[in-house]
Amino acid sequence: MGLLDQVLSGALGSRAGQQQGGSSPLMTALMALLSSGALSGAMGRQGAGGTGGLGDLLGGLTGGGNPGSMSMPGGGVGGLGGLIQSFQRAGHGDILQSWMGPDQNHEISPNQLGEAIGHGTVDDLSRQTGMERGDLLTELSRVLPGVVDRMTPHGRMPNDDEMAKW
């Protein structure tokens, strides 16, 4: 089990259990959300032509790699960097920053999370996982703070050397 698997599984706890034939819907949603494709609107393309899965996630966590394929509407990138930008644009940057810092993680409501990641992304994740929108946002609002917190143990975006260990 790699570091990224440990981060996601640790943050999900019992919710990380495998279902028949693959990952839990929540694990799938987290991986898709943190990959470059979810926030860039490329989720459909990823399923159609990309390899998907952990390789795409690792390449997209910080928004690195092929900049053309990771551009977001408004000029951002996908991955964790895109998530940060998305939260800032929605006016919830302080909440996400609390997850990265050493202090207590601020809570986020399902509605705030939906605003931050965008309705199109929520719809894509809902279709990909088979989870209802409300259930998806509720579960993500519970676990995403812990995932971001564990991905940023130094209170900042991981650098390339840190990412290479994943």
**Burial class for 131, CB neighbours closer than 10 Å (0-12, 13-18, 19+):** buried
pTM higher than 0.85, yes or no?
no
Quick: pLDDT tens for 136-164.
999 999 999 999 998 888 888 877 777 66
Tokens 């795409």: give the residue. Answer: 56
High-pLDDT (> 70) share of the chain, %: 58
What residue ranges do the domains of the chain occupy? 24-164
Architecture of domain 24-164: Orthogonal Bundle (1.10)
**pLDDT at 17 > cutoff 80:** no
